[in-house]
Chains A and B, each alone.
Chain A
C-alpha cells in the first residue's frame, strides 16, 4: 500500500526533518507513528498527502511514485486518502453535514448518494443527529469525530491521522482509536501519528518510531 524508500525531507531553513526513512505498510495494516515533538511525524504524513515533496528518495502509494505525480493528478490521489488533522481543519461557517459532505461534493457524487454516505459516516462516529449544527457548537472531541467522519466518508484506501487524540481525554481517545480499529477491520490501511505512548502500548499494533527525522524502531 505504502512504501518509503530512503526518503529524506529537508526544509529550506530548518534542516532535515526526515533522514533516509524506509518502511513498508501492507494493505489493510494499521500502524502507529511515534516520536518526540519535532521528530518528523507530521512531515512524514504530509509527504504522503502530497502537501510536501520528498527531497530525496521515493514515496510510493498504491504503486504510484509520488515524486512523479503531476499537479493535476494530486486531487485524484488525495481522494483515495482520508486525512485527519490535529486541528480538525473544519469549515466553521458550514454545518457538520456540509463539512462531512465536502469530499463527496468535490468528487462529484449525486446528492442522494451524498446524503446516504454522510449519515452513515456520522452514525459511525456517533454524531448522527448533530448534522445541522455548526462545528463551534460542538466539543473538541465531537469536532475531531466530525473530522474523522469526513476522512472516511469517501471510503479511502488509506487513513492518515495526525495526533487524532491530541485534544481528547483518555476515554475519548480510546474510543477514537477503537474507531480506527473498526476501519482497519474492513480493510482500510491506517497510519496514526501520536505520542500517546500509553495508549499505543495498550494496543497491539506495529509502531514506527522517529527520532530527529530518523526511523529508529520499526516493528
Chain B
C-alpha cells in the first residue's frame, strides 16, 4: 500500500522531528485559542491564581516562621545556677574552666549582689528582700554556646556536663518558648501541607471544569479528527496545552499577587521586629521557589486537563 510504504520510508529522526514540530504547533495553536476567548480564559486564570496565591502565601508564612524560630535558637543561653554556699572566688575559677571549653562562646558571671539588684528592680519584692539578713540568691553563670554546637542534642550534652560539676546546683535552658515556637511552626508546616494539597486538588478541579467546557465547545472537531484517524493522544494534545498555558499564566499572576502582599506586609513586620530588637526580614520567594511555583501551577493545569480528558474524551466517539 502506498501509504504504508511512505511511512516506512520516513527515517526515525524525521519522525521525531515531525512529532516535535507538531507539539510546537499545538503549543502555539492552544495559546492562540486562549487569546481568542480572553474573557473565559481570564476568569479561569484569575480563580486559579487566587488559589495559588493562597497556597504560596501559606508556604511563605511557614518559611518566615521557620526563619524566626531558627534565628532565635542562636541566641539561646544556658543559665548555670551554682549552689548558694559557693563563693565568688570559687565561682570565678569554675567560670574560667567553663569558658575554656570549646563549646562555649561567651560567659558572664552574675554575682550575688548583682542578682539581688536585678531581682529588686524587676520583682517588686525589693522591700521584703531588704529585710533579709543574708542574700539567698545563688551566683549564676550565663553561658552562650558557640553557634555550631547549637542543635538540641549538643545543648543537652553541654548541660549534662555542667550539671556534673559539684559546685553546680542546676542548669536551665531558657529555650522552652523557642521550642514551643518550633513545634508550632512544625504543626503549621504540616497544616499548610494539608491545606496546600487541598488547594492543589481545587486547582485540578477548576482546570478540569474549564477543559470540560472547552471540550464541549470543540466536540465536533474532536469527532471529525477521530473519524479521519486521530489517536487519543492527538485529540487530547491541544487541551493538555491549554491546561499548561492557563496554569502557567495563573502561576505568573499568583507570583505578582504574592509580591504585592509581601510588599504590603514588609513594613509592619519590620516595625514589630525592631520592637523586639530582632533582625527579622520578611522572606520572599527565591528564584528557585518562583520557578517551582510556575512549574507546579503549569503541572497542575496539565494534570487537571488530563484527568478530565481521560474520562471524557473516550465518551466522545463518532456514531
* Residues on A facing B (Cβ under 8 Å): 46, 49, 51-52, 71-72, 75-76, 78-80, 83, 89-91, 102-103, 105-111, 113, 150, 154-157
Contact = CB atoms under 8 A, between A and B. Distances in A.
Given A52-B319, A108-B15, A78 B1 contact: no
Nearest to B220: A91
13 contacts: A49-B227, A51-B318, A71-B314, A78-B229, A89-B227, A102-B228, A103-B228, A103-B229, A109-B18, A110-B18, A113-B6, A155-B2, A155-B3
Interface stretch (B114-122, B132-140, B230-238, B258-266): B230-238
A106 B1 CA distance: 18
B22 interface: yes
Nearest to B314: A71
A72 to B, nearest CB: 7
A18 B33 CA distance: 43
B230 A75 contact: yes
B231 A75 contact: yes
B28 interface: no
Given A108-B15, A155-B2, A150 B228 contact: yes
A52 B220 CA distance: 18
A72 B15 CA distance: 20
Contacts of A105: 22
Contact of B18 (A51, A90, A108): A108
A154 B220 contact: no
Interface string B250-281: 00000000000000000000000000000000
B310 to A, nearest CB: 13
Contacts, number: 68
Interface residues of B, number: 28
Contacts of B234: 75, 106
Interface in B188-229: 220-221, 223-229
B14 interface: yes
B19 interface: yes
B19 A154 contact: no
A52 B317 CA distance: 10
A157 B15 CA distance: 23
Contacts of B229: 75-76, 78-79, 103, 106-107, 154
Contact of B225 (A46, A49, A51, A106): A106
A46 B318 CA distance: 9
A83 B3 contact: no
A198 to B, nearest CB: 30
B245 to A, nearest CB: 19
Nearest to B231: A75
A51 B319 contact: yes
A78 B19 contact: no
A196 to B, nearest CB: 24
Contacts of B317: 51
Given A79-B229, A102-B225, A103-B229, A108 B19 contact: yes
A190 B22 CA distance: 32
Contacts of A79: 3, 228-229
Interface in B1-49: 1-3, 6, 10, 14-15, 18-19, 21-22
